[in-house]
Structures are given as structure tokens and as C-alpha cells.
């Protein structure tokens, strides 16, 4: 009967359509979100929130996402984009996948499972394969044996029932009655295993099929399945004890790149990689004619922005930031709309005059006289000008004066 009930629960949960989290759902580590800006496809990103709680977004770089609702994050990004980038940005934040919840104890397949809105403890146990046939757990007489740790916090636990609604990040602990240990996290076969004398954490990882991906182990955490207050960090030589839960956290071999590049985001790390090579992976800079500056935040140190060259050798976990001067030029004098305009490589002075609304002079004669007096001040030397004609090409940062001198 229990086996049939478990299968029915799994089928029912699998048929529930994806539901977007409401305003009561706070984003947390492990959630994968997508961010898009209407009419700005280059500002669309997808990111999985890590322990830092930060995401990197074009123009505004770091944003703290953990603890915000989707609307809260959308409003934060919108307000920052309004500050000098877009006039009225429409920002959309959606949850692609929720962070996991965990079922521990006397179930067939303890481990982490993808959260689904409004999922109950009963459905979660069904996803974990139902109760072990040889366990000591009896739902009809021991509902207090379900302990729910809210967001995995050992100081915030409740005695759950089958109808308790779970939240993303929760851990459900079910009392077990046999000699075993549990292994969770980034292993291929998380679950419960028969306890053996003198088994190490490294042996336990091997029993669980090894690591999920080609990556490095960042932490091995051990605690008793019904008491997270016993949590401690150990190394691979730790001797597993009866009833231990071993949680393996791994960090991908990757680096991050953001700023004035075509494809900001995270990329696979390769030993000996330079910033110039990383730029190629990220599609290059936005403006090839612009001047670029390179900065690095070392892994785990978001406060120390170090200037480097494009020959800098990247370290695993680095965040590389590329900053470029704004691609623009200036046009002054006898044009209808003097001011600052976006620079386009190969642009001529005649095209610049057209962008600025044409000449103020009304007759062909006066126009020809104005066009005989064109001077250009280069970005790196404003002290003297060069004479030019309408067919001359302009450069990034040039100031073009039509028909009169700077001080006339």
C-alpha cells in the first residue's frame, strides 16, 4: 500500500505545472533566475545564486539578490538602470529553477530535490521513494518524527506533519532506526548507506559515485541527521560515524568576467589563461576602437579591485572587469544641435554634421564659407586643433568645431 501511495504521489507532483513564486518567496543560494530588459536583448542573463548572494549585471555590475523577491530584484535593477543608462527600463525577473529542499532519514532515497511551490511533506517523502520497508517510522502514530528545518537552519525547526507546506531550502529529517550514514550534495548517488567501521569521508564520496562534475571540493560538512547544531567542516580523511550526514559542496573550476564585453558571465577556468584569452571567450569588448582598462577581484575578496594588464594570468575564481571609455565625440559651432554624440568607426565630419541637425547657415554661399573653417581637437590633446574638411574621418573622443574657433 505504501509503495502504491508513493508512486501516486510522484505522479501527482510530476503533473503539477510550473508556478512562479509569489511575493512571499525570497531568493536564496541555489536559485537559478533569468533577467531580461524589454527591448534590450543584450541585457538578458541567466544566473545561479551562490553563497555570496551577488549577481553580475551589465552596466551596474554587482547586485545583492539573496533575500529579495523577484519583484524586489526587478525594481532594484530598474532603478540602477535609470541612473544614467536607460530612460524607462522594463525589467523582468523570473525563477528558472528553485533551490533544492532535502529529505533525510528513513526514506528510500534521501537527498536533495528540486523545490516546487506548495509542495507538502507527504509529497516530498513520495519524491524520496517513500518510507523504508524495514524502518521504524510509522506515520499513523509518530507524526512528531517529522522535523522540518526552515532553510536548513538548525535554530529554526518545527515538528512537521504530512500536510506541512515546505519552502525552498528546507530540510526534512525523518528518524531512522538502523546503522547507516547519509551523503548529500554534489555526488552522483546521494542517499543513505550502510555504516562500515573505519570508512572515511573520501570513501563515502566514492561509494556515492564520486563527484557530479569535473570540479574541486570546496567543503565537506558533517552533522547528525536530526541536529544541524552539530555541523562541522572536515577533510576527506574524516572517519564517518553512525548516523552522520555528510554534505559535499564543490566549486566549479571557473572564473567570471563582466563590464564592457559582449557576453559577460562565468566561464570554465583553464590553467595559464590570460585576460586576453578570456576576452575571446566572452566575445571581445563592445567597442574595439575604445580604450580598455582591466581590473581583477580575487576570489572571495570583493573589496579589492586590482588594476592589471591584458597579460594577467587568471586564477580560479577570479572576477575580471573590463571598463571602456564611452564611445562618443563632440560637435560645436554652427550646427543646429551642438553636443555629444555616439561615435561610430569610420564616421566622417559630413556625417557628424548631419547627426547634429545640419548647419545653421541658410544659403549655399554661407554654408560653403562655414565649411572652410572646420577644426578638430583630438581627445588626447585639447591644446591645439587640426584643420579638416567634410570628408575627413573623425576619431573616438574628437571635438569638432564648425565655422568658428573654440573661444570665438
Q: What is the pTM of this model?
A: 0.36
Instruction: Tell me which DSSP letter residue 18 carries.
Output: P
The more confidently predicted of residues 287 and 66 is: 66
Tell me the three state secondary structure of residue 156. coil
pLDDT of residue 22: 55
CATH number of 22-97: 3.30.1950.10
Distance CA 408, CA 402 (A): 12
Query: CA 140, 144, 148: angle at the middle one, nearest 5?
Result: 120
Q: What are the cell numbers at 179?
A: 546503522
Distance CA 87, CA 83 (A): 8
Q: How confident is the model at residue 213 (pLDDT cuts 50, 70, 90)?
A: low
pLDDT of residue 15: 36
What architecture is the 254-324 domain classified under in CATH? Roll (3.10)
Mean pLDDT of the region 395-399: 85
pLDDT of residue 274: 93
pLDDT of residue 203: 92
pLDDT of residue 215: 61
pLDDT of residue 7: 40
> What percentage of the chain carries pLDDT values higher than 70?
85
pLDDT of residue 399: 92
Distance CA 377, CA 372 (A): 16
For residue 13, CA distances in Å to 6, 81, 190, 364, 399 come to: 11, 39, 21, 78, 65
Which residues are paired to 113 by β-bridges? Answer: 101
Nearest to 164 by CA among 149, 186, 180, 152: 149
Which residue ranges does the chain devote to CATH 3.30.1950.10? 22-97
Nearest to 144 by CA among 165, 159, 122, 125: 159
pLDDT of residue 337: 94
Render pLDDT for 269-296 as a digit per residue (tens, 0 to 9): 888 899 999 999 899 988 776 678 899 9
Mean pLDDT of the chain: 82
pLDDT of residue 380: 67
Intra-chain end-to-end CA distance of the chain, in Å: 95
Distance CA 171, CA 260 (A): 41
What is the side-by-side order of every strand in the sheet holding 381-387?
Answer: 339-342, 328-333, 399-402, 374-378, 381-387
Mean pLDDT of the region 212-216: 65
Residue 336 · residue 357 · CB < 8 Å:
yes
Residue 230 · residue 224 · CB < 8 Å:
yes
Residue with cell 555526488: 187
What architecture is the 179-248 domain classified under in CATH? Roll (3.10)
CATH number of 328-402: 3.10.560.10
pLDDT of residue 178: 55
Mean pLDDT of the region 336-354: 90
- Ranked by mean pLDDT, the top range of 59-73, 218-232, 279-293, 372-386 is 59-73
Which residue ranges does the chain devote to CATH 3.10.560.10? 179-248, 328-402
Amino acid at each position: 500500500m505504501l509503495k502504491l501511495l508513493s508512486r501516486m504521489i510522484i505522479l501527482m507532483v510530476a503533473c503539477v505545472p510550473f508556478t512562479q513564486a509569489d511575493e512571499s518567496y525570497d531568493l536564496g543560494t541555489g536559485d537559478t533566475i533569468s533577467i531580461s530588459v524589454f527591448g534590450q536583448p543584450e541585457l538578458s542573463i541567466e544566473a545561479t545564486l551562490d553563497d555570496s548572494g551577488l549577481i553580475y549585471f551589465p552596466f551596474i555590475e554587482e547586485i545583492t539578490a539573496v533575500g529579495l523577491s523577484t519583484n524586489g530584484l526587478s525594481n532594484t535593477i530598474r532603478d540602477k538602470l535609470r541612473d544614467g543608462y536607460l530612460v524607462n527600463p522594463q525589467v523582468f525577473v523570473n525563477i528558472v529553477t528553485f533551490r533544492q529542499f532535502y529529505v533525510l532519514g528513513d526514506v528510500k532515497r534521501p537527498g536533495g530535490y528540486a523545490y516546487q511551490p506548495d509542495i507538502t511533506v507527504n509529497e516530498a517523502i513520495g519524491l524520496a521513494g517513500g518510507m523504508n520497508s524495514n524502518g521504524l517510522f510509522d506515520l499513523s502514530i509518530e507524526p512528531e518524527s517529522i522535523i522540518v528545518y526552515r532553510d536548513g537552519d538548525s535554530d529554526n525547526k518545527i515538528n512537521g506533519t504530512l500536510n506541512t507546506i515546505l519552502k525552498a531550502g528546507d530540510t526534512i529529517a525523518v528518524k531512522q532506526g538502523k546503522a547507516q550514514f547519509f551523503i548529500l550534495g554534489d555526488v552522483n548517488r546521494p542517499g543513505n548507506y550502510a555504516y562500515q567501521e573505519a570508512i572515511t569521508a573520501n570513501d563515502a564520496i566514492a561509494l556515492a559515485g564520486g563527484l557530479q562534475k569535473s570540479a574541486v571540493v570546496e567543503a565537506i560538512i558533517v552533522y547528525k541527521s536530526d541536529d544541524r547544531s552539530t555541523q562541522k567542516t572536515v577533510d576527506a580523511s574524516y572517519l564517518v560515524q553512525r548516523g552522520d550526514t555528510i554534505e559535499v559542496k564543490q566549486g566549479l573550476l571557473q572564473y567570471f568576467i563582466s563590464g564592457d564585453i559582449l557576453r559577460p558571465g562565468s566561464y570554465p577556468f583553464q590553467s595559464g589563461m590570460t585576460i586576453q584569452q578570456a576576452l575571446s571567450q566572452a566575445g571581445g569588448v563592445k567597442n574595439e576602437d575604445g580604450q580598455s582598462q582591466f581590473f581583477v577581484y580575487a576570489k572571495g575578496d570583493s573589496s579589492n579591485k586590482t588594476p592589471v594588464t591584458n597579460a594577467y594570468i587568471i586564477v580560479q575564481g577570479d572576477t575580471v572587469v573590463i571598463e571602456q571609455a564611452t564611445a562618443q565625440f563632440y560637435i560645436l559651432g554652427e550646427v543646429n544641435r551642438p553636443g555629444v554624440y555616439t561615435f561610430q568607426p569610420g564616421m566622417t565630419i559630413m556625417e557628424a554634421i548631419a547627426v547634429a541637425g545640419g548647419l545653421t547657415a541658410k544659403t549655399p554661399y554661407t554654408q560653403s564659407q562655414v565649411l572652410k573653417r572646420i577644426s578638430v581637437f583630438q581627445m588626447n590633446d585639447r591644446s591645439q586643433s587640426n584643420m579638416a574638411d567634410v570628408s575627413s574621418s573623425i576619431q573616438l573622443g574628437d571635438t569638432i568645431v564648425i565655422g568658428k574657433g573654440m573661444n570665438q
